[in-house]
């Protein structure tokens, strides 16, 4: 399986590039799809799951809880019919500034004209006046500052987003010069003031209400904390979740969207469970020539911390087109080579014309990029970064990966109850899939019994290379060797059914027997 594993540093035969891509288990890099008008039916969601989506994102910056609940019920039906696990991510609104267009009439703005941004939301949105949802903008900006407005922010498409320059401030109103002609269509447009501090809470009252109701009801796996600017934002969100029963297990992914979040990145990474690099907003806050540097630096830091890094805004053109641009295809591959865990699709699946094809295309590009990633160099770099002495778990995880590579194993099977051991194995980026067999633990609140494990299984669906399998709850987390062997047979059967394991393949197993952690190599018979 791995004898043809190329490295970018090696010469690649041009003829090999023309060979058809071989079908594989699936890409190791995960795909987060945003569900919306074009992707909320059971049929489309089922096709998205089959194409490779493993996390469904629900964007609460638009649509009400009832609308999202209908979509989620369709997701559950699709999961049942396809028998494919999918995690749920709630994306908060946060301190997002918006232009309110109650009439929903298209607004045409012409270059060199002036437009007034006003906090008076009673006014109708026109080409002369745009009402916004924030009264403090006039205090935050000054003459010469830049402001971007559009339904999906400024992407270089000069016709759907507008670039404004602040001309003067009049009381609570901000008078701006329009820098490019554009037509704004829809009821809400995002407003982004470049490199300006907005004095609003990261977790708004509306966000808290959505989490307390929709989030609790559906036991969401992830929260995408929009506009995370400080580590304290994550701590406050975690404190809030800790009081909401099962949501104390919900993972928080800090969404880095501006220079403020970038400045405090190290502290945020320490507190968060993962990072989302929101390149749409960051592409506005940062000079274009700096965006790639931030991506490479941030992804590296996430990799070394063993926390998932998610990259956004990769194939914007596929919102309306069946194929990505050459630059976009290369961008996806480079994100994989940089070390990202997942690609997040927004408008491409939310309102795009080709949600299924987009997911499929992303998966194919990721799989090709993974074939040429330099795992040996990555492994050595990670071991060096971790240093000595390693923790017990870290030592076992790195040893399992080293053994798997040396014996050319086709898969690593890891027994885990918390998911931590499997995530540590994935941290070393093995070239083969890691089957994370989550063994549930029985717990009680003295009124009823319940099992843990479902959260842990679904939360690995955003980690590169991890493929979860929920074991039979009758098997305890720490068990006899014989019991683990029966669970192992289930895992091997799953691998065979998926096409990832064949006769005479070698498999590395990482398990706990009593107080000892064991890494063993098995060779399958006919």
Residue-level pLDDT at 331: 96
Please state which of the ranges 273-282, 484-493, 517-526 shows the lowest mean pLDDT. 484-493
* Per-residue model confidence as pLDDT tens digits over 389-435: 988 889 999 999 999 999 999 999 998 888 889 999 999 999 999 99
- Is residue 516 pLDDT above 50, yes or no? yes
- State how far the alpha carbon of 383 is from the alpha carbons of 109, 144, 210, 305, 391, in Å: 55, 48, 42, 12, 12
More confident residue, 415 or 17: 415
- Is residue 265 pLDDT above 80, yes or no? yes
More confident residue, 251 or 64: 251
Sign, CA torsion 462/188/134/282: positive
Phi, psi of 98 (to 5 degrees): -135, 145
Q: Which of 49, 51, 67, 50 is CA-nearest to residue 59?
A: 67
Q: Which of 279, 280, 337, 339 is CA-nearest to residue 308?
A: 339
Residue-level pLDDT at 22: 63
Can you give the pTM of this predicted structure? 0.90
State the chain's maximal CA–CA distance in angstroms: 80
- Is residue 14 pLDDT above 70, yes or no? no
* Per-residue model confidence as pLDDT tens digits over 449-465: 666 678 888 999 999 99
- State how far the alpha carbon of 275 is from the alpha carbons of 68, 270, 335, 420, in Å: 24, 10, 14, 17
pLDDT bin (cut points 50, 70, 90) of residue 239 is very high
pLDDT bin (cut points 50, 70, 90) of residue 299 is very high
Residue-level pLDDT at 321: 93
Residue-level pLDDT at 2: 45
- State how far the alpha carbon of 283 is from the alpha carbons of 95, 97, 148, 153, 324, in Å: 18, 17, 11, 10, 19
The rounded percent of the chain whose pLDDT value lies above 90 is 60
Rounded distance between C-alpha atoms, residue 253 and residue 250, angstroms = 10
CA geometry: angle 481, 487, 489, nearest 5 deg: 105
The rounded percent of the chain whose pLDDT value lies above 70 is 88
pLDDT bin (cut points 50, 70, 90) of residue 484 is low
Residue-level pLDDT at 350: 92
- Is residue 23 pLDDT above 70, yes or no? no
Q: Tell me the pLDDT of the chain averaged across its residues.
A: 88
- Is residue 7 pLDDT above 90, yes or no? no
């Amino acid at each position: 399986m791995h004898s043809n594993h190329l490295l970018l540093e090696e010469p690649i035969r041009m003829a090999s590039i023309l060979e058809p891509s071989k079908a594989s288990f699936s890409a190791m890099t995960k795909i987060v799809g945003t569900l919306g008008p074009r992707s909320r039916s059971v049929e489309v969601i089922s096709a998205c799951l089959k194409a490779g989506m493993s996390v469904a994102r629900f964007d609460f910056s638009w649509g009400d809880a009832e609308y999202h609940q209908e979509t989620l019920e369709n997701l559950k039906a699709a999961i049942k019919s396809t028998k494919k696990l999918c995690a749920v991510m709630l994306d908060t609104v946060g301190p997002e500034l918006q232009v309110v267009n109650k009439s929903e009439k298209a607004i045409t703005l012409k270059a060199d004209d002036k437009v007034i941004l006003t906090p008076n939301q009673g006014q109708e949105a026109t080409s002369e006046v745009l009402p916004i949802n924030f009264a403090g903008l006039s205090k935050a900006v000054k003459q010469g500052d830049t402001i971007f407005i559009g339904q999906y922010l400024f992407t270089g498409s000069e016709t759907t987003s507008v670039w404004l320059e602040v001309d003067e401030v009049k009381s609570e109103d901000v008078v701006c010069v329009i820098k490019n002609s554009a037509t704004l269509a829809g009821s809400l447009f995002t407003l982004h003031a470049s490199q300006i501090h907005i004095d609003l809470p990261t977790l708004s009252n509306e966000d808290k209400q959505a989490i307390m109701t929709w989030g609790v009801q559906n036991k969401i796996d992830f929260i995408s904390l929009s506009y995370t600017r400080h580590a304290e934002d994550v701590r406050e969100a975690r404190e809030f979740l800790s009081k909401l029963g099962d949501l104390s297990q919900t993972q928080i992914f800090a969404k880095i969207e501006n220079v403020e979040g970038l400045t405090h990145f190290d502290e945020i990474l320490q507190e968060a469970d993962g990072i989302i690099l929101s390149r749409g907003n960051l592409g506005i806050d940062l000079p274009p020539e700096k965006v790639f540097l931030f991506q490479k630096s941030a992804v590296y830091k996430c990799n070394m911390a063993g926390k998932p890094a998610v990259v956004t805004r990769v194939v914007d053109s596929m919102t309306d087109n069946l194929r990505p641009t050459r630059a976009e295809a290369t961008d996806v591959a480079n994100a994989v080579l940089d070390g990202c865990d997942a690609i997040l699709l927004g408008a491409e699946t939310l309102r795009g014309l080709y949600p299924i094809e987009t997911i499929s295309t992303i998966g194919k590009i990721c799989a090709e990029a993974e074939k040429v990633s330099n795992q040996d160099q990555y492994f050595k770099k990670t071991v060096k970064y971790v240093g000595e002495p390693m923790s017990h778990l870290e030592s076992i995880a790195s040893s399992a990966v080293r053994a798997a590579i040396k014996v050319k194993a086709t898969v690593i099977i890891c027994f885990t109850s918390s998911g931590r051991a499997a995530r540590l194995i994935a941290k070393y980026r093995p070239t083969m899939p890691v089957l994370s067999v989550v063994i549930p633990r029985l717990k009680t609140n003295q009124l009823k019994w319940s099992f843990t494990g479902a959260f842990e299984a679904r939360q690995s669906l955003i980690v590169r290379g991890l493929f979860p399998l929920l074991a039979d709850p009758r098997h305890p987390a720490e068990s006899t060797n014989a019991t683990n062997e029966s669970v192992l047979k289930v895992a091997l059967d799953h691998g065979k059914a998926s096409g990832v394991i064949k006769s005479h393949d070698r498999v590395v197993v990482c398990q706990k027997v009593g107080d000892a952690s064991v890494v063993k190599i098995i060779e399958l018979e006919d």
